[in-house]
Amino acid sequence: MGLVLDGSVTIESNDIPFDRQQLADYLNLERTNMSKELGRMQREGIIACRKSHFKLINRK
């Protein structure tokens, strides 16, 4: 269940059981490329992340 802000944005929080290297391995990506993409998604307001805690921001 997510937090709804002003009716147009829902924030959902998900913890994943991997650190960044494990996630990169799982997705068959280089860790540097995955980190770049996570950074891009943060700058665009798609996600907020810190270590293995990710907040997915769903815009309606």
- Interval 50-60: pLDDT, tens: 877 777 787 65
If we measure between CA atoms, which residue out of 19, 2, 21, 17 comes closest to residue 60? Answer: 2
CATH number at residue 7: 1.10.10.10
Q: Which residues of 27-43 are buried (b: 16+ CB within 10 A; e: fewer)?
A: eeeeeeebeeebeebbe
- Interval 31-48: pLDDT, tens: 999 999 989 989 998 888
**Do residues 52 and 16 lie in contact, with contact meaning Cβ atoms separated by under 8 Å?**
yes
Structural domains in the chain (count): 1
pLDDT the model gives residue 47:
84
Domain of 35, in residue numbers = 3-59
Whole-prediction pTM = 0.65
Say how many C-beta atoms besides its own lie within 10 A of residue 26's C-beta.
12
